[in-house]
Protein backbone atom coordinates (compact mmCIF):
# COMPACT_ATOMS: atom_id res chain seq x y z
CA UNK A 1 0.00 0.00 0.00
CA UNK A 2 2.88 2.38 0.76
CA UNK A 3 4.26 2.37 -2.79
CA UNK A 4 0.80 2.83 -4.28
CA UNK A 5 -0.02 5.75 -2.00
CA UNK A 6 3.30 7.51 -2.61
CA UNK A 7 3.22 7.16 -6.41
CA UNK A 8 -0.42 8.25 -6.55
CA UNK A 9 0.30 11.33 -4.45
CA UNK A 10 3.37 12.31 -6.49
CA UNK A 11 1.46 12.12 -9.79
CA UNK A 12 -1.52 14.05 -8.38
CA UNK A 13 0.75 16.69 -6.83
CA UNK A 14 2.69 17.17 -10.09
CA UNK A 15 -0.59 17.52 -11.99
CA UNK A 16 -1.92 20.13 -9.55
CA UNK A 17 1.31 22.13 -9.83
CA UNK A 18 1.28 21.98 -13.64
CA UNK A 19 -2.30 23.25 -13.65
CA UNK A 20 -1.22 26.04 -11.25
CA UNK A 21 -3.99 25.26 -8.79
CA UNK A 22 -3.31 26.89 -5.42
CA UNK A 23 -5.04 25.64 -2.27
CA UNK A 24 -6.53 27.97 0.29
CA UNK A 25 -4.06 28.76 3.10
CA UNK A 26 -6.62 27.54 5.63
CA UNK A 27 -6.98 24.09 3.99
CA UNK A 28 -5.98 21.22 6.26
CA UNK A 29 -5.60 18.81 3.32
CA UNK A 30 -4.17 19.71 -0.06
CA UNK A 31 -6.07 18.95 -3.26
CA UNK A 32 -3.42 16.33 -4.12
CA UNK A 33 -4.07 14.55 -0.80
CA UNK A 34 -7.82 14.59 -1.40
CA UNK A 35 -7.36 13.11 -4.87
CA UNK A 36 -4.92 10.51 -3.54
CA UNK A 37 -7.45 9.37 -0.92
CA UNK A 38 -10.16 8.99 -3.56
CA UNK A 39 -7.94 7.07 -6.01
CA UNK A 40 -6.62 4.81 -3.24
CA UNK A 41 -10.23 3.96 -2.34
CA UNK A 42 -10.64 2.59 -5.89
CA UNK A 43 -7.28 0.78 -5.88
CA UNK A 44 -7.59 -0.91 -2.48
CA UNK A 45 -11.18 -0.74 -1.21
CA UNK A 46 -13.59 -1.11 -4.19
CA UNK A 47 -14.43 2.58 -4.08
CA UNK A 48 -15.16 2.77 -0.34
CA UNK A 49 -13.79 6.23 0.48
CA UNK A 50 -14.38 5.84 4.23
CA UNK A 51 -12.12 2.77 4.41
CA UNK A 52 -9.40 4.55 2.45
CA UNK A 53 -9.76 7.61 4.68
CA UNK A 54 -9.31 5.57 7.85
CA UNK A 55 -6.40 3.52 6.46
CA UNK A 56 -4.40 6.53 5.22
CA UNK A 57 -4.97 8.32 8.52
CA UNK A 58 -4.09 5.36 10.78
CA UNK A 59 -0.90 4.60 8.80
CA UNK A 60 0.06 8.31 9.06
CA UNK A 61 0.33 8.75 5.28
CA UNK A 62 -2.10 11.67 5.56
CA UNK A 63 -2.19 12.59 9.28
CA UNK A 64 -4.37 15.70 8.83
CA UNK A 65 -7.25 13.73 7.34
CA UNK A 66 -10.61 15.47 6.97
CA UNK A 67 -13.85 13.98 8.23
CA UNK A 68 -15.96 11.93 5.83
CA UNK A 69 -18.41 14.73 5.06
CA UNK A 70 -15.67 17.35 4.64
CA UNK A 71 -13.72 15.02 2.34
CA UNK A 72 -16.77 14.40 0.15
CA UNK A 73 -17.40 18.14 -0.15
CA UNK A 74 -13.79 18.71 -1.23
CA UNK A 75 -14.07 15.93 -3.80
CA UNK A 76 -17.14 17.52 -5.35
CA UNK A 77 -15.22 20.76 -5.86
CA UNK A 78 -12.54 19.10 -8.00
CA UNK A 79 -13.44 19.69 -11.65
CA UNK A 80 -13.48 16.85 -14.18
CA UNK A 81 -10.60 18.35 -16.26
CA UNK A 82 -8.33 17.96 -13.22
CA UNK A 83 -8.97 14.21 -13.07
CA UNK A 84 -8.49 13.99 -16.84
CA UNK A 85 -5.16 15.81 -16.47
CA UNK A 86 -3.98 13.04 -14.11
CA UNK A 87 -4.74 10.44 -16.79
CA UNK A 88 -2.98 12.59 -19.37
CA UNK A 89 0.08 12.69 -17.11
CA UNK A 90 0.05 8.89 -16.91
CA UNK A 91 -0.46 8.55 -20.67
CA UNK A 92 2.92 10.24 -21.16
CA UNK A 93 4.48 7.24 -19.44
CA UNK A 94 2.42 4.84 -21.58
CA UNK A 95 3.61 6.60 -24.76
CA UNK A 96 7.21 5.60 -24.01
CA UNK A 97 6.25 1.95 -24.57
CA UNK A 98 3.94 2.55 -27.55
CA UNK A 99 6.39 3.54 -30.26
CA UNK A 100 4.10 2.37 -33.07
CA UNK A 101 1.24 4.62 -31.84
CA UNK A 102 -1.33 1.82 -31.91
CA UNK A 103 -4.55 2.09 -29.90
CA UNK A 104 -7.85 0.29 -29.38
CA UNK A 105 -11.33 1.64 -28.64
CA UNK A 106 -14.43 -0.02 -27.23
CA UNK A 107 -17.30 0.52 -24.80
CA UNK A 108 -18.30 -1.19 -21.57
CA UNK A 109 -21.75 -1.09 -19.89
CA UNK A 110 -21.80 0.44 -16.40
CA UNK A 111 -25.20 -0.24 -14.81
CA UNK A 112 -26.54 1.90 -12.00
CA UNK A 113 -29.21 -0.75 -11.44
CA UNK A 114 -30.86 -3.67 -13.19
CA UNK A 115 -33.94 -3.44 -15.41
CA UNK A 116 -36.36 -4.55 -12.67
CA UNK A 117 -35.27 -1.71 -10.36
CA UNK A 118 -35.34 0.98 -13.05
CA UNK A 119 -38.44 2.73 -11.68
CA UNK A 120 -36.71 3.28 -8.31
CA UNK A 121 -33.59 4.91 -9.69
CA UNK A 122 -33.11 8.61 -8.92
CA UNK A 123 -29.68 8.93 -10.52
CA UNK A 124 -30.59 8.24 -14.16
CA UNK A 125 -34.06 8.51 -15.67
CA UNK A 126 -35.16 8.37 -19.28
CA UNK A 127 -35.08 5.98 -22.23
CA UNK A 128 -31.63 7.16 -23.32
CA UNK A 129 -30.12 5.50 -20.24
CA UNK A 130 -31.65 2.08 -20.95
CA UNK A 131 -29.08 -0.17 -22.62
CA UNK A 132 -28.60 -3.81 -23.54
CA UNK A 133 -25.65 -5.89 -22.37
CA UNK A 134 -25.09 -8.67 -24.92
CA UNK A 135 -22.57 -10.50 -22.70
CA UNK A 136 -25.15 -10.96 -19.92
CA UNK A 137 -28.19 -10.99 -22.25
CA UNK A 138 -30.04 -8.40 -20.18
CA UNK A 139 -31.19 -4.79 -20.20
CA UNK A 140 -29.85 -2.32 -17.66
CA UNK A 141 -30.15 1.32 -16.62
CA UNK A 142 -26.94 3.32 -16.65
CA UNK A 143 -24.16 4.53 -18.91
CA UNK A 144 -21.46 3.27 -21.27
CA UNK A 145 -17.78 3.78 -20.60
CA UNK A 146 -16.02 4.49 -23.91
CA UNK A 147 -12.28 4.12 -23.53
CA UNK A 148 -9.21 4.35 -25.74
CA UNK A 149 -6.12 2.48 -24.61
CA UNK A 150 -2.78 1.66 -26.21
CA UNK A 151 -1.89 -1.85 -27.31
CA UNK A 152 -0.20 -2.44 -23.94
CA UNK A 153 -3.46 -1.75 -22.10
CA UNK A 154 -2.71 1.75 -20.80
CA UNK A 155 -5.82 3.98 -20.93
CA UNK A 156 -5.28 7.37 -22.59
CA UNK A 157 -8.82 8.74 -22.99
CA UNK A 158 -12.30 7.91 -21.70
CA UNK A 159 -15.82 9.34 -21.82
CA UNK A 160 -19.24 8.45 -20.43
CA UNK A 161 -22.35 8.38 -22.62
CA UNK A 162 -25.97 7.25 -22.12
CA UNK A 163 -26.38 3.47 -22.36
CA UNK A 164 -28.59 3.59 -25.46
CA UNK A 165 -26.13 5.61 -27.56
CA UNK A 166 -24.53 3.63 -30.39
CA UNK A 167 -20.77 3.15 -30.19
CA UNK A 168 -19.84 4.97 -33.39
CA UNK A 169 -22.18 7.88 -32.59
CA UNK A 170 -20.54 8.30 -29.18
CA UNK A 171 -17.05 7.90 -30.66
CA UNK A 172 -17.66 10.77 -33.07
CA UNK A 173 -18.27 13.06 -30.07
CA UNK A 174 -14.90 12.28 -28.45
CA UNK A 175 -12.25 14.91 -29.06
CA UNK A 176 -9.35 12.63 -29.94
CA UNK A 177 -5.99 13.67 -28.54
CA UNK A 178 -3.69 11.13 -30.17
CA UNK A 179 -0.33 11.46 -31.98
CA UNK A 180 -0.31 11.92 -35.75
CA UNK A 181 -0.28 8.71 -37.82
CA UNK A 182 -1.89 6.72 -35.00
CA UNK A 183 -3.96 3.60 -35.67
CA UNK A 184 -7.12 2.82 -33.69
CA UNK A 185 -8.40 -0.76 -33.77
CA UNK A 186 -12.12 -1.30 -33.15
CA UNK A 187 -14.94 -3.82 -33.58
CA UNK A 188 -17.65 -3.86 -36.25
CA UNK A 189 -19.76 -1.24 -34.45
CA UNK A 190 -17.26 1.46 -35.45
CA UNK A 191 -17.66 1.15 -39.23
CA UNK A 192 -18.23 4.63 -40.68
CA UNK A 193 -16.48 5.37 -43.99
CA UNK A 194 -17.16 9.11 -43.93
CA UNK A 195 -15.81 9.55 -40.39
CA UNK A 196 -12.76 7.39 -41.16
CA UNK A 197 -11.88 9.68 -44.06
CA UNK A 198 -12.43 12.79 -41.94
CA UNK A 199 -10.15 11.50 -39.18
CA UNK A 200 -7.34 10.95 -41.70
CA UNK A 201 -7.74 14.42 -43.20
CA UNK A 202 -8.19 16.40 -39.96
CA UNK A 203 -6.16 14.49 -37.35
CA UNK A 204 -4.07 12.03 -39.41
CA UNK A 205 -5.53 9.21 -37.32
CA UNK A 206 -6.46 5.88 -38.94
CA UNK A 207 -9.61 4.21 -37.60
CA UNK A 208 -9.34 0.49 -38.44
CA UNK A 209 -12.49 -1.41 -37.39
CA UNK A 210 -13.17 -5.05 -38.10
CA UNK A 211 -15.09 -5.02 -41.37
CA UNK A 212 -18.55 -6.45 -41.87
CA UNK A 213 -19.13 -9.13 -44.51
CA UNK A 214 -20.77 -6.68 -46.89
CA UNK A 215 -18.09 -4.02 -46.40
CA UNK A 216 -16.89 -2.07 -49.45
CA UNK A 217 -13.44 -1.56 -47.96
CA UNK A 218 -10.58 -3.97 -47.37
CA UNK A 219 -10.28 -5.54 -43.96
CA UNK A 220 -10.99 -9.24 -44.29
CA UNK A 221 -8.69 -12.23 -44.16
CA UNK A 222 -5.26 -11.59 -42.65
CA UNK A 223 -6.09 -7.94 -41.87
CA UNK A 224 -9.14 -9.01 -39.86
CA UNK A 225 -7.00 -11.43 -37.83
CA UNK A 226 -4.51 -8.68 -36.95
CA UNK A 227 -7.24 -6.24 -35.95
CA UNK A 228 -9.03 -8.80 -33.78
CA UNK A 229 -5.80 -9.69 -31.99
CA UNK A 230 -4.71 -6.09 -31.33
CA UNK A 231 -8.09 -4.91 -30.06
CA UNK A 232 -8.36 -7.78 -27.53
CA UNK A 233 -6.25 -5.77 -25.08
CA UNK A 234 -9.09 -3.34 -24.40
CA UNK A 235 -11.40 -6.20 -23.43
CA UNK A 236 -8.75 -7.26 -20.92
CA UNK A 237 -8.59 -3.65 -19.66
CA UNK A 238 -12.34 -3.57 -19.08
CA UNK A 239 -12.13 -6.88 -17.20
CA UNK A 240 -9.45 -5.44 -14.91
CA UNK A 241 -11.54 -2.32 -14.24
CA UNK A 242 -14.61 -4.45 -13.45
CA UNK A 243 -12.54 -6.45 -10.93
CA UNK A 244 -11.81 -3.23 -9.06
CA UNK A 245 -15.51 -2.37 -8.88
CA UNK A 246 -17.95 -3.67 -6.26
CA UNK A 247 -21.06 -5.59 -7.33
CA UNK A 248 -22.97 -2.30 -7.30
CA UNK A 249 -21.52 1.21 -7.16
CA UNK A 250 -22.92 3.11 -4.20
CA UNK A 251 -23.76 6.70 -5.11
CA UNK A 252 -26.50 9.17 -4.24
CA UNK A 253 -26.09 11.62 -7.13
CA UNK A 254 -25.21 11.36 -10.81
CA UNK A 255 -22.02 13.35 -10.23
CA UNK A 256 -20.97 10.94 -7.45
CA UNK A 257 -21.66 7.89 -9.63
CA UNK A 258 -19.64 9.25 -12.55
CA UNK A 259 -16.83 10.32 -10.22
CA UNK A 260 -16.47 6.76 -8.93
CA UNK A 261 -16.29 5.42 -12.50
CA UNK A 262 -13.47 7.91 -13.21
CA UNK A 263 -11.68 6.76 -10.06
CA UNK A 264 -11.78 3.11 -11.17
CA UNK A 265 -10.34 4.05 -14.58
CA UNK A 266 -7.56 6.01 -12.87
CA UNK A 267 -6.93 3.16 -10.44
CA UNK A 268 -6.43 0.80 -13.38
CA UNK A 269 -4.18 3.37 -15.10
CA UNK A 270 -1.95 3.61 -12.01
CA UNK A 271 -1.70 -0.20 -11.92
CA UNK A 272 -0.31 -0.16 -15.47
CA UNK A 273 2.40 2.31 -14.47
CA UNK A 274 3.72 0.95 -11.21
CA UNK A 275 2.06 -2.06 -9.60
Q: What is the pLDDT of residues 139-167, one digit of tens each?
A: 889 999 999 999 888 999 999 999 999 99
Q: What is the pLDDT of residues 86-108, one digit of tens each?
A: 999 999 888 888 888 899 999 99
Whole-angstrom Cα distance, residue 181 to residue 204? 5
Q: Which of 258, 247, 269 is nearest to 113 (CA)?
A: 247
pLDDT at residue 93 in the model:
86
pLDDT band of 115, cuts 50, 70, 90: confident
Whole-angstrom Cα distance, residue 264 to residue 121? 22
Whole-angstrom Cα distance, residue 256 to residue 72? 9
More confident residue, 62 or 221: 62
- Percentage of residues of the chain with pLDDT beyond 70: 97
HEC assignment per residue over 5-39: HHHHHHHHHHHHHHCCCCCCCCCCCCHHHHHHHHH
Q: Which residues of 125-158 are buried (b: 16+ CB within 10 A; e: fewer)?
A: eeeebbbeeeeeeebbbbbbbbbbbbbebbbbbb
246-275 mean pLDDT? 88
182-198 mean pLDDT? 91
Whole-angstrom Cα distance, residue 190 to residue 158? 16
pLDDT at residue 275 in the model:
47
Query: In whole angstroms, what separates CA 111 from the centre of its chain?
Result: 15
Distances (CA, A) of 69 to 42, 58, 65, 143: 18, 18, 11, 27
Q: What is the pLDDT of residues 30-53, one digit of tens each?
A: 999 999 999 999 999 999 999 999
Q: What is the pLDDT of residues 197-221, one digit of tens each?
A: 999 999 999 998 888 777 777 665 6
Whole-angstrom Cα distance, residue 42 to residue 210? 33
How much is the mean pLDDT over the chain? 89
pLDDT at residue 222 in the model:
60
Q: Is the pLDDT of residue 168 over 60?
A: yes
Whole-angstrom Cα distance, residue 125 to residue 142? 9
Please report, for the chain, the start and end positions of each structural domain, with discontinuous segments joined by +.
2-78, 98-255
Q: What is the pLDDT of residues 67-87, one digit of tens each?
A: 999 999 999 999 999 999 999
Instruction: Sort 182 into a burial class: Cβ within 10 Å, 0-12 / 13-18 / 19+.
Output: buried
Q: Is the pLDDT of residue 173 over 80?
A: yes
Amino acid sequence: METKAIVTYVVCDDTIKNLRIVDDVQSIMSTAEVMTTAIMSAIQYSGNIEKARQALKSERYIPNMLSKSQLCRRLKKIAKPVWEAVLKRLSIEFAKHNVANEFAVDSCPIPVCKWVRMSRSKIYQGKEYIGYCAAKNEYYLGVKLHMICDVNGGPVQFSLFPASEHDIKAFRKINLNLPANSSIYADKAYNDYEYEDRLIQEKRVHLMPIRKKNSKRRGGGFLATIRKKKRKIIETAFSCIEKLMPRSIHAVTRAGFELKIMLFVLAYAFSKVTF
